[in-house]
Structure 1
């Protein structure tokens, strides 16, 4: 008997906490690259609303050269506010430092990881990738059989999860 496999996908809307976290991490990356184009940034963001307030947790490794600094807390608050998290009724009021706490757990990139991503260093001279996850995507015509899905050219699981 042949064993099959099940492939699932999730798609979340703009206001979803996963998207908020992605946007905060992206904004931090953009800010770091704006002050140092060769900055190394591996940042994860977590948000949690509680009855007594909310929390934004930013953790990871950031290496910025040239003495430049980035205000991570201000970036997180601004990004969350621009998305619409401006009231505890919506899950958090990112502008209110009393009800929304931002915690930072950031350090410089470790030497072990740096060795693996710096060109010409480490065991594999051309590795060039860190410890982040694997993402994939592709254009496909697998949804062209359905009239309501024609012209999207996205993988069918993604299109179905967005319906």
Structure 2
């Protein structure tokens, strides 16, 4: 008999992962708004009164990453040291570089290559759902 293990994780409102996802999404949106051909692999991490945005982004867009971080934090409500992060006074570190040529050669070419010749970067796939397994509507691990 074959065994298949599957686990799931979920985080609740206020968890740093939620903030980081929103910041990375805002960076992606800003790039794609100005340059639909942007290639964005943006990661965000945070700790008390600090946010770091890093990764590989190839775009023609002119993006103010620090402004995006502060605006996103402010809109979510991180506006005081009392909540662990003050959007207007926290330290923001940005380390964005151009996409690696090794990755670029594998993922570019949508108009010149056959679909089976186009690779993928190292991005993961996430999914979520609500369920009646628990009163919180969060899934149990299986």
| Counterpart position of 1:76 | 69
| Counterpart position of 2:98 | 108
- Name the SS of the counterpart of 1:132 in structure 2: coil
| Counterpart position of 2:78 | 85
State the shift of 1:5 in Å: 5.4
Alignment: residue pair count? 134
Q: Output the CA distance in 1 between the equivalents of 2:3 and 2:99.
A: 41
Q: Which has the larger radius of gyration?
A: 1
For normalisation by structure 1, the TM-score amounts to 0.72
For normalisation by structure 2, the TM-score amounts to 0.82
Give the superposed CA RMSD.
2.6
| 2:124 is equivalent to residue 159 of structure 1 | no
Gaps of 5+ in 1: 144-148, 151-156
Change (3 A) 1:138 1:23: closer
Gaps of 5+ in 2: none
Higher relative contact order (CA 8 A, sep 6+): 2
Q: Output the CA distance in 1 between the equivalents of 2:12 and 2:91.
A: 24
Q: Output the CA distance in 2 between the equivalents of 1:92 and 1:115.
A: 39
